Structure 1
């Protein structure tokens, strides 16, 4: 847990519309556009940015420079990083940390990815895979289906283990996909905006039981960015200080991930729970104080188990949480008002910063048709197998 040294404000965010692979601009153009949108939102010039952290999964070394050089050639440090699906929030974590520590007064976090169609797979086959230990643990627990996307087997297995313990119905997972499409229909930046019925979700082709196709996030292209700074810098330049990062934590795997014989832990349940606990304690709030949530719904099963890992509902009650509508407008929380990874899309490097943008808009009261009324506290959860988890809590001042 990072000890809070000084307030860090999110003063600008930008996000371009997410698209299907093959229909996007090149990654460097997308990254530059998202950065320019964040600068315009902050009403700040690029030459005032002191450091930049750029995340992407599908790209070569120094792709961050290739994107930012289209915005300006200011000579600042540009750091490139890859933390699988938690890449965007990892970039935000480092930018926030640089400002909070006093290393810089203003930093940029940018996430982008230009993905290809089809299931995720590694880029190299001539060296050890960083996912090998995870794959071996999964195979020992539930076997391995050749020809089935590996990510679906990881998270579908987590759903199976939850069902085995609590007797959850398969269509409960399907209802999460229905909710995601309903929310995305209000989001002009989402890739899938057509609503679906529960019958349509459940009738779509089975990928890995209990996950049907509409319960799996799509490969997506896109970019998003955020500018963070100190309060002193914001006041000096007349910036909007209404949104502050109240607390943030990043975690990685513990022995339980591999030793528990539980797919939920293998895909990050404990990482999520540990990060959430740190964040609540540091901010002096509890999950009951949260108004709006953007969580990592790469598959419906992960959204369901994350409700409990984040403390939004007690263990074993996630099905009731869904059936009671406590995950949408009119319920206890609005979860993934953007449409989430399932419907907004999931360009791996950009996801964490797209979540950040949505929550900043919500706290500013500028989320238009998606607006959560009187939102003052927002929670973000971004997870990457391999593994990394970043949980961030934002507050409106």
Structure 2
């Protein structure tokens, strides 16, 4: 056991979809499922952390108190976290920190979202110092265009093909068939993906995740509390939220050097690589110890990037793993057995928590129809805006 460990006592989700209901309903449903799963009474929760949602009014900005009120005031301490798509993991880290400090024994972490139709874009208003607002307003660059640049880079650097990207969708769609919380439960072929409209070349519509409504929740306790109460289950061994390190300030771009740039600083890890390395170091393990991964597949090409960013394979070889079936359930290194965002879509404050839910079920042996046999160690990864990102490691 590591000094950083906390126990995952319970997990719960509200199924993803496009329900059009208040986000609080999804969060409360997920929280109640997580509490039921843990066997812990709501009144024994002494800390609640809500993942902030920026699209749902003032209640979304103070999500921790919103969920605490909806569940029934019980006197617990409260916090709200926001880190865009890494929100759920940052909220988990807030809870973990208080538990490790000895200030809390039982924490409930909840994230939920109700999203508008279409691709996500910055909120209204002029924000000339906000790069996210600028890229959308001045260049018309919604997220799919950004995803397409990453995909084009894989094609140019490593010889990836559009068929490789489509194969990721085919794999994730097959995984999602047995996931009752998934929004999309339908098989696809490579031909189906390639026949869908091109949104941002080289990505087709079926290469890109949707925006969704949904919720997820996790109950964390101290290891000592779990032992006293006979709670068995996975432990969180590490949560990484590191920022980039100068001079490697490009969040995604690998650092290249050549004879013409001999005076350049020594190569540095990319931000995403650094997230994973910090998690491995904190957990005291290496990529070779990982049995299953839940990664941030906003697009099919980004899943391939993340497999390499996590150090699970050599740079430029992820396509080969997909081609040989190694990233499928039953393969050497299953990735996104939940079905990933390909089957869920984005419910921003909930998605990093949903990854932890899936790994918990996998490590308990409860992922019926998509179980990774013998899974003992799992890792998650996702990226929020700017320097925000996260990687969580769990072990059985």
TM-score calculated relative to the size of structure 2 = 0.90
- Correspondence 1:42 to 2:38: yes
Measure how far apart 1:386 and its partner are: 2.2
Alignment match of 2:21 (pick from 2, 21, 25):
25
Give every structure 1 segment of 4 or more consecutive aligned residues whose post-TM-superposition deviation is greater than 6 Å: none
Alignment match of 1:56 (pick from 52, 56, 63):
52
RMSD (Å), alpha carbons = 2.3
> 1:18 aligns to what SS in structure 2?
strand
Alignment match of 1:248 (pick from 225, 239, 242):
239
> 1:274 aligns to what SS in structure 2?
helix
Q: Distance in 1 between matches of 2:327 and 2:250?
A: 31
Q: Deviations over 1:50-98 (max 9, x none)?
A: 1111113323232332233121201222212221111111111211122
Q: Distance in 2 between matches of 1:181 and 1:352?
A: 19
Hey, what does 1:160 align to over in structure 2? 152
Hey, what does 2:274 align to over in structure 1? 274
Once the two structures are overlaid, the 10-residue window that deviates more, 244-253 or 127-136, is 127-136
Alignment match of 1:13 (pick from 11, 17, 23):
11
Q: Distance in 1 between matches of 2:41 and 2:300?
A: 40
Q: Distance in 2 between matches of 1:201 and 1:68?
A: 42
Q: Mapping of 1:1-397 within 5 angstroms?
A: 5-20=3-18, 23-57=19-53, 58-59=55-56, 60=58, 61-128=61-128, 130-132=130-132, 135=135, 146=140, 150-240=142-232, 242-255=233-246, 270-396=270-396
Measure how far apart 1:330 and its partner are: 2.6
Give unpaired runs (5+ residues) of structure 1: none
TM-score calculated relative to the size of structure 1 = 0.90
Q: Distance in 1 between matches of 2:377 and 2:287?
A: 10
> 1:298 aligns to what SS in structure 2?
coil
Q: Distance in 1 between matches of 2:120 and 2:64?
A: 22
Q: Between Structure 1 and Structure 2, how many residues are aligned?
A: 379
Q: Deviations over 1:112-152 (max 9, x none)?
A: 1111111111113233363349839xx9xxxx864xx5211
Summarize the Cα distance change of 1:157–1:257 in structure 2 as closer, same or farther, 3 Å threshold. Answer: farther
Give unpaired runs (5+ residues) of structure 2: 256-268
> 2:288 aligns to what SS in structure 1?
helix
